[in-house]
Chain A
Amino acid sequence: MFRMMAIIAGLGLVLAGSAEAQTPRKGGTIRMTAPYGSSFTSLDIHTTQRAQDEIYAKALHRSLYTWDSAEGKPVPELAKEVVVSGGGLVQTFKLRDDAYFHNGRKMTADDIIWTFNRIMDGTKAYPGARFVRIIEGAAAVEKGQAKEISGLKKIDDFTLEMKLTEKVDPGFYFFTALTSIYPADEGAKESFIQHPIGLGPFKFVEHVPGSRIVLERWDKFYKPGKPYADKVIVSIMGEAAARDVAFRNKEIDTSVLGPAQYVAYQADPDLKGTIVEVAEVFTRYMGMNPAFKPFADKRVRQAINYAIDADLIINKLVKGKAYRATSWLPLTSPAYDKAMKPYPYDPAKAKQLLADAGYPNGFEFEWTTSQNESWGLPIVSAVIPMLDKVGIKAKVKQVETAVLAEVVRTGDYQAFIYSQQSGPDPLAALKCFHSSTPQPACNYMNFKNADFDKILDEAGQTDDAAKRTQLLQKANALLYEEAPVWFFNYNKAVMAVQPWLHGIQKNPTELTHQNAEELWVDETSPAK
């Protein structure tokens, strides 16, 4: 009897302990890292599209929508309800009436209208303009032909009507920090850049340029009981080796891992459990310019896909820190087709296709690349001998990443290697290949295919979600067949997370972008 009681008591203690471990703890400091460079670009988040800047912005700011990693889709954040009318072109937002800016003022529809008008200031080229352009009349403001976006109408302080130019899910357009809502009165002031004010769960405390940003809990945040932590420190740590030491030394709570560290952490029993990985919505590829004669032929482009042993490169060079690309849409895309298989490694077939296309002895091309370790020079260097085997000679042209971005947009290349966002919205991702999309926008290969356009237009028009997915999969399959690129891989983002940090979201749009109000640290955290 006594034994039975002891067992029951012990079980009770275990269960209580487990429940306690799952109950978010209030207080503590979260120490995140910003790994993509040696500074933040600006405290005006509208001006920067670098992933680095959105890390702190997710704690400081809020947009109309947010990305729900569990659901795998954008969900309304600053609106309690969204009513769709006008054949899908009119969205009426019932806004939250409990969202306060960090200066204590309540957010209203005026702030959203002011923010979107600001983003469309064409003299500033705010990167978020690409999203706001979906609102009727926004492009006219951008071009200086109108002062205010005609498609935005304030019904009352907490009701906003938005007319769209196309029938799309606005969630995909307004969930990133590029469209963060600013307080209309403060956002226009010069001092805003030094001391930004947002709607996020943490308010700005300090920025030491080139070193860190410190934020502290905003008590008037609209989600009850959140955020959990008292403070968030985002340290800039561009060097992977330095991050590794700091992580092992328990000075930071998160660290993005490169291929070499990924292998080392997997092999270390103490660190293996800290790894969090997710297939991000980025496709790495070699783009081929159809204006360069050999690449105008589909068979040549297919031959290149057959000639490269992408699996070998992913396993040996990228150390398994990537997923093999089948076509354009990545694994986490809602329209990803699991039945699709990637191009197999088949040099004989590649040679045959080249001969059929009139290049039995191959040809030579110039390949523009950056130094990026995951999709730059090291990859190009590994591919060159494979292409050489089928008679294709590649001449490397190495440029800086900033220059590569310009080369890609202007079409001043024969081939280039790049990493491009291919989600989360599959329709928007595939639209980059629509013939109406200009090359500088994102149709970098200047792809034009009437069948593809037709399928995509149909997908955009249909209200049937299943049919839409089916059409998007068809368009994706057509891209596979046309092979405007060498489909290399989808990024596998890997982050090491200390055992005391909880609430990490597997965000496929960018793993480092965490909704900070969901994070909490338990009492084992060494940070006070």
Chain B
Amino acid sequence: MPMLSFLIRRLLQTIPTVLAVVLLVFVLFSVVPGSIVSSMSDDADPQVELRMKQQLGLDDPVHVRFGKYIAKLATGDFGTSFRTREPVTTMIAKRAWPTLQLIFTSMAFAVLLGVPLGFVAALRPGGFVDSAAMFVAVSGLSIAKFWLGLVLMYLFALKLGWLPSFGYGDGSLKYLLLPAVTLGVSPMALLARTTRAAVLEIMTADFVRTARSKGMSEIRVVKWHVMRNALVIILTTMGLQFGALMGQAVVVEKLFSWPGIGSLLVDSVLQRDVPAVQGSILVVVLAFLAINLLIDVLYGVIDPRIRYA
């Protein structure tokens, strides 16, 4: 029951956030120069431009357009793309799965490599493993994704011939691997550093000392006390990284010709396709909120002391 009321409360809390984002994007695209009309045709008659604006509803005042947009949004209608003339929901639906594939695979790579790396480093602080792990982590955080992607392409496609250098293909792992690793290196590095810091801190906590003094083996101490407590911090980092990955995916999608929402967003911004921009941003925001809500719920599962209050 407390879980249900927590969920309802959190869902209600997302409404102002979503509205604020929608309003911000709307206002932003109402004031920035350039419009779909100029990007469509560079010699349209002013009379034609006017008719086109009327048809697209661009001649209404901003507040009227915003009201109409919100009314549509309430019914699940994201509007129609100015440039492709397709419903925005259809456009996003086509791109959603590749984006999810990319982000979840990147996160899986980051977690599977970053968390163990951080743990191992923390268990022997100052040692060779720790230094090597932290070198990898710092490098991973510093490397530009574009450059890393090119290096991976060069190595695994051109030199070794193991993987295709670009494209979506049939959406299988061999096409996904290079973009996912390129995108996942930075969160992997961050997770490694965060895990190391969390584990080091927990290792010196009173309850760990107590467990050891009670004669508990080091493996049990790490498994039952250190890991569980560190997981809360790791989950928080993961939640934030999901949001960051959605933003960073733009570069990777473009580099690898991966058909995700990121490249849709960039092209829509450049061509002033406002409904597509709004729809794409809204989906990204909703996904970010949903993942963080899920993580909030997981907190309670991992640590029963955390109440849904």
**Which residues of A approach B to under 8 Å, CB–CB?**
37-39, 41-44, 47-49, 122-127, 129-130, 139, 142-144, 193-194, 208-212, 235-239, 241-242, 245-246, 248-249, 251, 399-403, 405-407, 409, 440-442
Query: How many angstroms between the C-alpha atoms of A403 and B39 in the bound complex?
Result: 9
Contacts A245-B157, A246-B165, A406-B33: A44 and B254 contacting too (C-beta < 8 A)?
no
Cβ of B257 under 8 Å from chain A: yes
Q: Write the chain A residue with the least CB distance to B99.
A: A210
| Chain A nearest Cβ from B255, distance in angstroms | 5
| Chain A nearest Cβ from B169, distance in angstroms | 9
Contacting residues, chain B, for A242 (C-beta < 8 A): 149-150, 153, 165-166, 255-257
Q: Is the CB of B168 within 8 A of A208?
A: yes
Q: Write the chain A residue with the least CB distance to B94.
A: A209
Give which listed residue, A139, A209, A212, A249, contacts B165 with CB less than 8 A: A249
Q: Is the CB of A44 within 8 A of B85?
A: yes
Query: How many angstroms between the C-alpha atoms of A440 and B45 in the bound complex?
Result: 8
Q: List 6 A-B contacts (CB under 8 A).
A: A38-B257, A49-B42, A212-B167, A251-B164, A406-B38, A409-B42
Give which listed residue, B41, B158, B164, B263, contacts A125 with CB less than 8 A: B41
Q: Write the chain A residue with the least CB distance to B250.
A: A38
Interface residues of B in 112-167 (CB under 8 A from A): 149-150, 153-154, 157-158, 161, 164-167
Query: How many angstroms between the C-alpha atoms of A144 and B46 in the bound complex?
Result: 13
Q: Is the CB of A48 within 8 A of B83?
A: yes
Contacting residues, chain B, for A237 (C-beta < 8 A): 166, 257
Among the 9-residue stretches B48-56, B186-194, B292-300, the one with 4 or more Cβ atoms under 8 Å from chain A is B48-56
Q: Is the CB of B270 within 8 A of A402?
A: yes
Contacting residues, chain A, for B98 (C-beta < 8 A): 210
Cβ of B75 under 8 Å from chain A: no
Q: Is the CB of B150 within 8 A of A241?
A: yes
Cβ of B247 under 8 Å from chain A: no
Q: Is the CB of B164 within 8 A of A400?
A: no
Query: How many angstroms between the C-alpha atoms of A210 and B91 in the bound complex?
Result: 11
A38-B267, A402-B271 known, 14 other contacts, Cβ within 8 Å: A41-B267, A42-B85, A49-B41, A124-B55, A129-B41, A139-B45, A210-B260, A241-B150, A245-B153, A246-B157, A251-B166, A405-B34, A405-B42, A440-B46
Q: Is the CB of B34 within 8 A of A38?
A: no
Contacts A123-B51, A242-B165, A242-B256: A39 and B263 contacting too (C-beta < 8 A)?
yes
Query: How many angstroms between the C-alpha atoms of A313 and B35 in the bound complex?
Result: 33
Query: How many angstroms between the C-alpha atoms of A242 and B258 in the bound complex?
Result: 12
Q: Is the CB of A129 within 8 A of B44?
A: yes
Report, nearest first, the 3 A-B pairs whose CB atoms are least far apart. Answer: A210-B259, A38-B263, A211-B259
| Chain B nearest Cβ from A465, distance in angstroms | 27
Cβ of B37 under 8 Å from chain A: yes
Contacting residues, chain A, for B168 (C-beta < 8 A): 208, 211-212
Contacting residues, chain A, for B196 (C-beta < 8 A): none
Cβ of B213 under 8 Å from chain A: no
Q: Is the CB of A235 within 8 A of B40?
A: no
Contacts A47-B40, A142-B48: A42 and B83 contacting too (C-beta < 8 A)?
yes
Cβ of B206 under 8 Å from chain A: no
Cβ of B59 under 8 Å from chain A: no
Contacts A209-B94, A235-B257, A249-B165: A440 and B51 contacting too (C-beta < 8 A)?
no
Cβ of B13 under 8 Å from chain A: no
